[in-house]
Structure 1
Amino acid sequence: MQRTRAWRRSQARKSGKTKAANPLVFKPEKNWKLLYTRGDKLLRARQLGLSYPIRSTRQLLDQE
């Protein structure tokens, strides 16, 4: 019986002993500077439910 990488990964997911058990665990970025473009930052902020760019109260009042 030939055991491939796919077989090893499925076994790891079944047992849950390794990091490969749940590769979809949410890990937010520790540093926003790691997101290079403004579009990436806007997309990530939308996913996290944050308002970006952060605006002061004065900026919000001036906008209205």
Structure 2
Amino acid sequence: MSENRNRAWRRFKDRVKKGKGMGSDELYKPEKKWKLMYFRKNKLARAKQLGLDYPIKSKRQLLDQELPSDE
């Protein structure tokens, strides 16, 4: 069973293996066309599925949420 490894096979394998080096895969890949999701409830549901924090909160908002003021 010999495989026919000609130029076309080598070119195919080169295309398949492109971008598989160290650091080439992205750690975070956001949702495609996120801006086209119009309704807030849809965005909240999709963000929950993806494990994203939406709406994005600033550090100040997170600190205020953690430390409630008793005044």
- Structure with bigger gyration radius: 2
Select the structure that is richer in helix: 1
Given the two structures, how large is their TM-score scaled by the length of structure 1?
A: 0.50
